[in-house]
Chain A
Amino acid sequence: MLEELVVLFVIFVLAMFVGFEVITKVPPTLHTPLMSGSNAISGITIIGALIIAGAADNRISSILGAVAVAFAMINVVGGFMVTDRMLHMFKRKPEEQKK
């Protein structure tokens, strides 16, 4: 039981380091899309929500699961879509623009 927890904790700490490495390279220009995008990623809780909502353990946990699915889905769909909308706007100087 404790070993299991430690293994998970090891994964958590290592993933934090990967996160630090990757994210320090994101330029300030993209900090807002980074937030909304990483937000969408935190919607990964959807996995837990789907398992609970689909498990038929009892009524209350199913309902909590359904609300969790809705919340996580707002996070996932809203996050990725709005990030895409923002990133679509980031453009280099167009060639035809005269100086």
Chain B
Amino acid sequence: MMDAFAKLAYLLAAVLFIFGLKRLSSPATARSGNWLASLGMAIAIIATLAFEGVVQWQYIVVGVIVGSTVGGLFARLVKMTAMPEMVALLNGFGGGASALVASAEFVKYYEAGGIIPVNFGVAIMLSVVVGTLTFSGSLVAFGKLRELITGRAVTYPGQQIVNALILLAALGGVVWLVIAPHNWPFFIALAGLAFLLGILSVIPIGGADMPVVISLLNSYSGIAAALTGFVINNEGLIISGALVGASGLILTNIMCKAMNRSLANVLFSAFGSEVQEIGPGGAAGDRTVRSLTHEDAATMLAYARQVVFAPGYGLAVAQAQHEVRELADMLQERGVEVKYAIHPVAGRMPGHMNVLLAEADVPYDQLYDMEQINPEFERTDVSVIIGANDVVNPAARSDTSSPLYGMPILDVDKSQHTIVLKRSMRPGFAGVDNELFYQENNSMLFGDAKDSFKKLIEEVKQL
């Protein structure tokens, strides 16, 4: 009877999750959707406490207090520019929690001394493997995004073979432990292998491929939750975990498409581990780029009819989103049409730029997806590229020898003028020289994006 109540409550929670996600289809309803989903979670938690026969409270109370405090502090204190790290970390905790639940189930069976039914055995071991590798992989992703460890791809000879062997060993361990579960050291070793696999499979992936990795880890954390559902025989976990798993997979797929690369290529090719100094048209050094003064740039912008801002990861690094908005407002007051062009993989996670610009109060109807904005560039007087590089490289359209070839890009080079804000001539993440910089209608504005925008604002004021 109690069990039936609990199950119905979990079903209600899952339905609320689905409605919540559905409301995310528009920014206008999204916030209420998030509230619905949190209501679902509250119902699930209360139902568990009420109907699942809790006999001791001290561990629960401690866990809930610690977790809520830490989670709440993270959520309040994190900067919008650091959102990719935050999500990476959350993925990790989700995966870790699932692995811990499965491990606790293992301990329970182990202590009881009975046989573990095969279906539970499989679910427990897989849940431990997926959960643990999500945990360690997310920590590495976090470290890379925070630049605690190098953001570039870390490679060594035989890397893929080593990873493949570890994966095989882990799978072998799963099979072994399902057949003969009463083996403590083996269980620990399995968790250790999964932990190692998480680390080793993320380190060869470079910074700009992070959107793919975070999406994939997001998916894993959902799959881990679903597997835990198989462990404790709970449909609520399975449905919710599957929703998250699907969501992560869709995002992964979108990100891969936006880079015109397969998932396997992202995961295994160690893209961006080395910097090619040679551009497609010969040595990079012997071509000239034009740089311009802030004054000239300000004049160009102030007398334009349409200006498009194309932000990239550099915007997040420089934290220049507020200055960009301020300049955009001033331009709009002067009658300039201002639009923002958002490439799907600009930044370090899906939707990264949108969140930054939203933080700076840029209305979301000024943000345009790649497909929407590309036909606009021909009508654009000035496109301002802020710390984006590979996503605006025309070589992706024309140069079949470029590693970027085939990647859909923002066609900024079709506008009358382009201004590239950049700290130096260093190539972008892909290590490829950017044709755009050498084009006749392009000018470079070197320096920190935030400083540059402050100067531009001053200059426009004086016009």
A positions within 8 Å CB-CB of B: 1-2, 4-5, 8, 11-13, 15-20, 22-58, 60-94, 98-99
Contacts and interface: CB of A to CB of B under 8 A. Distances in A.
B34 A83 contact: yes
Interface string B75-103: 11010100100110011011011101101
Interface of B: 10, 13-14, 17-18, 20-22, 24-28, 30-31, 33-35, 37-38, 41, 44-45, 48-49, 52-57, 59-60, 62-64, 66-68, 70-72, 74-76, 78, 80, 83, 86-87, 90-91, 93-94, 96-98, 100-101, 103-105, 107-108, 111, 117-119, 214-215, 218, 221-222, 224-226, 228-248, 250-251, 254, 332-333, 335, 342, 344, 349-352, 354-355, 358-359, 361, 363-367, 369
Per DSSP, chain A at the interface is: helix
Nearest to A18: B18
Task: Give the top 3 A-B pairs by smallest Cβ distance, nearest first.
Answer: A73-B67, A69-B63, A19-B246
Contacts of B215: 35
A38 B244 contact: yes
A27 to B, nearest CB: 7
B271 to A, nearest CB: 21
Contacts of A35: 87, 214-215, 218, 247-248, 251, 349-351
A70 B358 CA distance: 31
Contact of A15 (B28, B64, B243): B243
A2 B119 contact: yes
B242 A79 contact: no
B364 A54 contact: no
A50 B238 contact: no
A34 B351 contact: yes
B252 to A, nearest CB: 11
A10 B33 CA distance: 27
Contact of B37 (A49, A57, A61, A80): A80
B244 A67 contact: no
Contact of A44 (B13, B87, B90, B100): B13
Contact of B242 (A12, A36, A62, A83): A12
B74 A78 contact: yes
